[in-house]
Structure 1
Amino acid sequence: MPSATDAHRPVVLDRREGPFGEVVLRERGSDFEIIANGCFLMDTSDGRSERLLIDAALAALPADRPEPSVLIGGLGVGFSLVRAAEEPRWGRIAVVEREQAIVDWHLDGPLGRISGAALADPRTEVLRTDLVDHLRTTTERYDALCLDIDNGPDWTVTEGNGSLYSAAGVEACRTRLTPGGVLAVWSAQPSAEFESTLRNAGFRAVTTEEVAVARGVPDVVHLALRGE
């Protein structure tokens, strides 16, 4: 008979080598976990902070802005996308995800039970590309950027992601926003340096919202508005 310890031991469901390293989908009890290059990225045990990422961005936009567009980076376990699809006020919902494995786990794998309805929503589009590259090359502008591709500005999954939180990366985010648009960035811990970078780039109303977690410091969402 399996012991209680066995029930909580992670089981690898899929392991892939991609252009940015190894990504792994694990099952632990009733939850799923995504591991990137040996670094725990996220799981399905809670999701409050991922939902706050979307809710806080929408709340920061003017209530009279019709059908605002949102860019979510990346797909993860799907909580942010699901939250956006649950809100009828959003118009276009674009999701950037560079890891084909993660997209597959949602479209044809076990994560589909979380995101299936949201992915089928006609407002949803999955962009299979790197977020940093997309921000620098697209001409599309969004009312909200909701970014959750790392454990935060000070703890990136890959070295190349660090440029997103630099002065140049923040400026790329500002350029991709409509006037009055909102940038929301998830982080496992607050980053005073990132807040300073946002202010120096000309963002206004820079704030940090906390979400309590079971252990350790709270998760946070960094929020900033582009000036008119």
Structure 2
Amino acid sequence: MDIVERIITERGELVLRRRDGHYELISNGVFLMDTRSGESERALVREALDRAGPRPRLLIGGLGVGFSLAEAARSDAAEIVVVEIEPVVVGWHRGVLRPYSEGALDDPRVRVITADLTTWLHTTTDRYDAVCLDIDNGPDWTVFAANSGLYEPAGLDLLRARLNPGGVLAVWSAADSPRFAAELDRRIGPTQTVRVPVPRGEPDVVHVASSRR
């Protein structure tokens, strides 16, 4: 295992390491994600865009290792906005992680905003046809306590306010969360749970809610 970079941020230690030819992101000793597959991150975007209609405006919360952005850039999305809290993660995508986001930072449709997603949602008036949320490890396992608010009723109301009528909210999770899916159904609209098999353990999950018009 090789440490590519270790930095101290306002949120603690963030590490990019390389193991067996793959990159891993570790926050304060907790594994976040790696570059081994990316199927569920791609599914997050596909499931949202499949329901959003042609040439949607898309918001992605969390850049990660770039699989979701790469999938979005392959679509017909008219605009892709990515909100990522860590400037160093954006920098990695101009270097060692560029192959995984497939150079999508250079796509003229892509705009990256370096900010805390919750704070930014409170300040913007923009609306989107699809919002893809990949913050932490999902509603029931957050690395940062502050992020839990996004998955609570007030956070879901905030996200709903940024959707165009009939817009779609897709949320990535490391495990199924029936409680959260039920809350999505109440706060956003009809919700489907998409399970994405992984080599070991329980499937990754994408909860997809279509807002009521």
After TM superposition, the score normalised by the length of structure 2 is 0.97
**Match among 3, 8, 11 for residue 20 of structure 1:** 11
**Residue ranges of structure 2 left out of the alignment (5+ in a row):** none
- Alignment of 1:84 onto 2:56: no
| 2:149 paired residue number | 163
Tell me, in whole angstroms, the C-alpha distance in 2 between the residues paired with 1:176 and 1:153: 19
Q: 5 Å matches for 1:69-148?
A: 69-87=57-75, 89-107=76-94, 109-148=95-134
Tell me, in whole angstroms, the C-alpha distance in 2 between the residues paired with 1:57 and 1:168: 22
- Over the aligned positions, Cα root-mean-square deviation in angstroms equals 1.0
Deviations 1:91-140 (A, max 9, x none): 10011100111111112x31122225211100001000011111222111
Tell me, in whole angstroms, the C-alpha distance in 1 between the residues paired with 2:212 and 2:186: 13
Tell me, in whole angstroms, the C-alpha distance in 2 between the residues paired with 1:142 and 1:209: 22
Q: SS of the counterpart of 1:215? A: coil
The answer on whether the counterparts of 1:23 and 1:101 sit within 8 Å (CA) in structure 2 is no
Tell me, in whole angstroms, the C-alpha distance in 2 between the residues paired with 1:26 and 1:223: 31
**Match among 187, 193, 196 for residue 208 of structure 1:** 193
Amino acid in the other structure paired with 2:212: G
The answer on whether the counterparts of 1:183 and 1:225 sit within 8 Å (CA) in structure 2 is yes
The answer on whether the counterparts of 2:35 and 2:100 sit within 8 Å (CA) in structure 1 is no
Q: SS of the counterpart of 1:102? A: helix
Tell me, in whole angstroms, the C-alpha distance in 2 between the residues paired with 1:159 and 1:223: 23
Tell me, in whole angstroms, the C-alpha distance in 2 between the residues paired with 1:24 and 1:46: 19
Deviation at 1:199, TM superposition (A): 2.2
**Residue ranges of structure 1 left out of the alignment (5+ in a row):** 1-9
Q: 5 Å matches for 1:35-50?
A: 35-50=26-41
Number of paired residues? 213
Deviations 1:57-110 (A, max 9, x none): 011123xx4x211011111000000010011x1010011100111111112x31
| 1:221 paired residue number | 206
- Alignment of 1:33 onto 2:24: yes
Tell me, in whole angstroms, the C-alpha distance in 2 between the residues paired with 1:117 and 1:104: 12
Q: What's the % identity of the aligned pairs? A: 51
After TM superposition, the score normalised by the length of structure 1 is 0.91
